[in-house]
């Protein structure tokens, strides 16, 4: 009987070890990267002219193109915390065009789809998480309160109205589709979504296409890509649990910011609180509860294995958390080799 119990324990330990081995790669590398050159205006025109929406005036620029009367430069060229990858025949048709163009612009580099959804939903979700406005069945809400005339007046006094952005989102054709791509995995690991090399903090190599209802491109921003060459073998020693513990120490949520620090004049803050039916609005920075193992850019400009963690604000109304609040690509990276912050 004792022998059988010991054998069962050994089997269990073997199974657990096997699971851990699957989570952490047996081999990992630090890689030098060589960026593809930017595409000048003429090259963009040659690449895209037959795919742009017909009948519109197109502006071509370095790595960019957009239809002037349909979409101003810059919209949709960010990463949304609420982005999803949907699937449909129409999305597959758009993907065929986008991925053909990406393989032409960046040969020997397989793109990874990270966003595929209606463009109007993409922008509405972004505004919900960054400005607290939510669009439900044609009705706008602010912090879960219907946007009444009185509440809109309070938001205007507090310079938080967002009317221009809300109007722009309402006017987006619901049949438009946004696709976003990222360089494919390097050495078996996905590439980190954010560049934070001590000089820049921005979405890393994020490419965005926006298609109209006829599957023609109305906007594109080629975010760049690269080839990678392993130069040093590394060992992944830090587990996801250890990475999350380090991340929690970075932002433990104890520091709370009152919205009054925005510097509003007069009684704008109190007026807004009255219309929202609460006594305080506060925010606190917290770390996300999940992390993933990726290849992230370090201070030397190389890719190395790291845990991609996130941080965001929790929005508190009368000390009760009502939503997550995201402003920008707030990811940070913890070395999977020694647990250090790549860019503290």
Q: Going residue by residue through the chain, which has 344 residues, state the pLDDT in tens, using 9 for 90 and above.
A: 433 333 333 333 333 333 333 467 767 999 999 999 999 999 999 999 999 999 889 999 999 999 977 665 567 778 887 789 999 999 999 999 999 999 999 998 889 999 999 999 999 999 998 889 999 988 999 999 999 999 999 999 888 889 999 998 998 999 999 999 999 999 999 999 998 877 778 899 999 999 999 999 999 999 999 999 999 999 999 999 999 999 998 887 778 888 766 666 678 888 999 999 999 999 998 999 999 999 999 989 999 999 999 999 899 999 999 988 887 668 999 999 999 999 76
**Angstrom distances, CA of residue 183 to CA of 18, 37, 84, 227:** 29, 15, 17, 9
pLDDT, residue 83, reads: 83
Q: What is the pLDDT of residue 255?
A: 80
What is the SS3 assignment for 53? coil
| Distance, CA of 332 to CA of 328 (rounded, Å) | 12
Tokens 């657990």 found at: 16
Dihedral of CA atoms 295, 296, 298, 304 in degrees, nearest 10, equals -10
**What is the pLDDT, as a whole number, of residue 176?**
95
Residue appearing with tokens 């952005």: 165
pLDDT value of position 74: 62
pLDDT at 18: 36
Residue among 290, 296, 236, 340 at smallest CA distance from 25: 236
Check residue 159 and give its pLDDT.
86
- For residue 72, what pLDDT is reported? 58
């Amino acid at each position: 009987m004792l022998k059988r119990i010991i054998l069962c324990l050994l089997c269990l330990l073997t199974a657990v070890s096997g699971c851990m081995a699957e989570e952490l790669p047996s081999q990992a590398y630090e890689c030098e990267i060589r960026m593809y050159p930017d595409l000048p205006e003429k090259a963009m025109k040659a690449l895209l002219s037959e795919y742009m929406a017909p009948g519109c005036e197109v502006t071509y620029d370095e790595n960019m193109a957009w239809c002037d009367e349909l979409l101003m430069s810059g919209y949709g060229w960010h990463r949304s915390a609420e982005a999803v990858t949907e699937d449909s025949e129409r999305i597959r048709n758009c993907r065929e065009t986008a991925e053909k163009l990406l393989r032409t612009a960046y040969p020997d580099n397989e793109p990874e789809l990270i966003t595929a959804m209606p463009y109007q939903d993409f922008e509405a979700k972004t505004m919900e998480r960054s400005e607290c406005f939510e669009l439900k069945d044609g009705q706008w809400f602010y912090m879960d309160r219907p946007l009444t005339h009185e509440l809109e007046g309070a938001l205007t006094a507090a310079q938080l109205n967002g009317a221009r952005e809300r109007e722009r989102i309402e006017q987006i054709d619901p049949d438009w589709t946004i696709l976003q791509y990222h360089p494919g995995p390097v050495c078996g690991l996905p590439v980190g979504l954010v560049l934070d090399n001590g000089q820049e903090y921005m979405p890393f190599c994020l490419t965005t296409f926006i298609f109209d209802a006829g599957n023609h491109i109305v906007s594109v921003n080629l975010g760049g890509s690269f080839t990678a060459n392993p130069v040093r073998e590394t060992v992944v020693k830090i587990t996801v649990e250890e990475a999350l513990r380090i991340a929690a120490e970075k932002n433990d949520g104890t520091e709370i910011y009152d919205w009054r620090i925005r510097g509003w004049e007069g009684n704008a803050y109190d007026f807004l609180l009255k219309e929202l039916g609460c006594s305080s609005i506060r925010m606190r920075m917290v770390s996300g509860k999940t992390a993933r193992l990726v290849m992230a850019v370090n201070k030397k400009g190389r890719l190395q294995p790291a845990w991609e963690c996130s941080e965001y604000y929790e929005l508190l109304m009368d000390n009760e958390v009502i939503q997550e609040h995201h402003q920008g690509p707030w990811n940070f990276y913890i070395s999977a080799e020694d647990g250090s912050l790549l860019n503290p």
